[in-house]
Amino acid sequence: MKETSLEQRKPQALKEKAQLAVSIGVVSLMLYIIGFPAFLLIFFGVLGFFVWKIFSPESRVETRKIFEFYLSANEILRDDERRWYGFEIKEATIRGDNLLRTMSTAPPLVHFSLGALYQRLGDHASAAKHLADAVEKQSADEMTIIFPPKELREYVRLLRRIERAPAESPLTAAAVRSLERKRKNHGKKMLAESRELMHTMPDVNDVAEVLAIESSDAKNETATLKSVVDEPEPGREPAVTYNFADIRQPKVARKPEKSPDSGDRQTISEVLHDLYDKNA
């Protein structure tokens, strides 16, 4: 089992579901024995299942996502020698932001965990915003919430069950205790640090925007230099390149000149023939 996932549900909840399934099965069997058509039993069974899935509240699913977020946040914020990649922290902040969007009234611990993650990431503006919601504003006090929405009531119900029996969900209980202790002991100090640094250090998103602007400026500068070199100055006519014709005299291949005595020379055979005639 992953450390960032909740423990398995209690056997009591599984036992209740099993009892419900057995009861439905017994009723269906009795209807089949008295002559109720089987295909109608199957049809109404499937129809009832889909109706139950459609109208069943999704608050339990969202509540489990909150505690899974606590697990991942506590794992990142824990003071150990593990070095986390930036995208891992960014993914955790996205999960926290999604929880805040789906809940009308989020628990203060969700705001604190999200603010601490943003501080670890270096986004001190977002960190100061969420840390203020967790330790400074009136909504940070749980006593002020008198009329909770349904999802918050479901969250508190599951939280109390985990607190009463921490041995059944040890990782979740430890994560909640650790985050609450950090919020109580270091929340205001973390908020002050983020507010101080948000005016001196650039935001993570601002750095990305600056890099994008610098890259765009470099491309524009290259295009500008190219246009300045290639285009003529205003008020001047563009330079015209002329191709002159080659008016030089064509070269004539010289024939080898004959020496004056070349016509009177005898061949070797003629010389030998004359010598032979003289000796004879």
Same domain, yes or no: 40 and 99: no
How do residues 138-166 score in pLDDT, each as one tens digit? 888 889 888 888 889 999 999 999 999 99
Same domain, yes or no: 39 and 68: no
Q: Which domain holds residue 22?
A: 11-55
Positive or negative, the CA dihedral 231, 233, 238, 242 is negative
Whether the Cβ atoms of residue 7 and residue 1 lie closer than 8 Å to each other:
yes
Same domain, yes or no: 36 and 119: no
Between 45 and 136, the more confident residue is 136
Q: Is residue 39 situated within a structural domain? A: yes
**Phi, psi of 248, deg, nearest 5:** -70, 150
Q: Which alpha helices (DSSP H) does the chain contain, by range? A: 11-33, 38-55, 59-77, 86-102, 108-121, 124-135, 150-164, 170-197, 204-230, 268-279
The CATH number of whichever domain residue 166 belongs to comes to 1.25.40
Q: Which of 184, 206, 228 is the last residue of a domain?
A: 206
How do residues 72-86 score in pLDDT, each as one tens digit? 999 999 887 889 999
Q: pLDDT tier at 104 (50, 70, 90 boundaries)?
A: confident
Q: Identify the pLDDT of residue 16.
A: 62
**How many whole angstroms separate alpha carbon 73 and alpha carbon 66?**
10
Same domain, yes or no: 36 and 86: no
- Cα distances (Å, whole numbers) of residue 239 to 230, 231, 235, 236: 11, 10, 12, 9
- Computed over every residue of the chain, the mean pLDDT equals 76
**How many whole angstroms separate alpha carbon 84 and alpha carbon 89?**
7
Residue 52 has pLDDT above 90, yes or no: no
Same domain, yes or no: 37 and 64: no
Same domain, yes or no: 180 and 99: yes
Q: Identify the pLDDT of residue 189.
A: 94
Same domain, yes or no: 24 and 154: no
**How many whole angstroms separate alpha carbon 45 and alpha carbon 53?**
12
Same domain, yes or no: 18 and 116: no
Q: Which of 174, 206, 238 is the last residue of a domain?
A: 206
Q: Is residue 95 situated within a structural domain? A: yes
Q: Is residue 246 situated within a structural domain? A: no
Same domain, yes or no: 127 and 195: yes
Domain count, the chain: 2
